[in-house]
Amino acid sequence: MIDKLSKYIGWVLYALLAVSVVLAVLFYSNSLGESSLMRWAYILLIATVVVTIASPVFSFIQQPTNVLRLLVILGIVVVIALISYSLAGNTFSDARLAALEITADTSKQVGVGILFTYITGSIAILAILYSGLSKFFK
């Protein structure tokens, strides 16, 4: 059944790609307006969101034991986000914030995003190094 489903999904993706290519060619040849291309982009975005939400739900129905693993991973992400939030701060003066046209909260949110990226990137690099070294010494 999964092989059949993969085959159908592959054909649907090829059809979406073909429609996208045709619309892009029409757009760049000035035969199609921006609004039509934007509508197509919205359709693709909505389809992506639906598939992104439906895929894990379908997987959890098939294998309920994966729910625990997902909850552990989400817990780790929340902990990393809380650590990032607690370490982030606003280092700009009021004059610099006014010149940049941002608020102190916006500055802190950017800091949270940067710290979250640094932490998750560091974890990924450490995991790659650990994986390589553990295979080397086995």
Range of the domain at 13: 2-62
| pLDDT tens by residue, 43-63 | 999 999 998 888 888 888 888
Domain boundary among 44, 62, 80: 62
- 78 with 125, same domain: the answer is yes
Instruction: Report pTM.
Output: 0.61
Q: What are phi and psi of 99, to 5 degrees?
A: -65, -35
- 70 with 55, same domain: the answer is no
- 14 with 70, same domain: the answer is no
- 49 with 104, same domain: the answer is no
- 29 with 47, same domain: the answer is yes
Domain boundary among 62, 87, 104: 62
- 51 with 92, same domain: the answer is no
- 74 with 132, same domain: the answer is yes
Which pair of tokens denotes residue 22? 């045709």
> How many domains is the chain partitioned into structurally?
2
Average pLDDT, the chain: 90
pLDDT bracket for residue 115 (50, 70, 90): very high
SS3 (DSSP) at 103: coil
- 10 with 51, same domain: the answer is yes
Mean pLDDT, range 95-99, rounded to an integer:
88
pLDDT bracket for residue 125 (50, 70, 90): very high
> Which of 69, 81, 65 is CA-nearest to residue 119?
81
Cβ(83)–Cβ(123) below 8 Å: no
Alpha carbon distance 102, 110 (integer Å): 11
More confident residue, 120 or 32: 120
Mean pLDDT, range 91-114, rounded to an integer:
89
- 72 with 126, same domain: the answer is yes
Which pair of tokens denotes residue 8? 């159908």
Domain boundary among 47, 62, 77: 62
- 18 with 40, same domain: the answer is yes
- 11 with 56, same domain: the answer is yes
- 74 with 120, same domain: the answer is yes
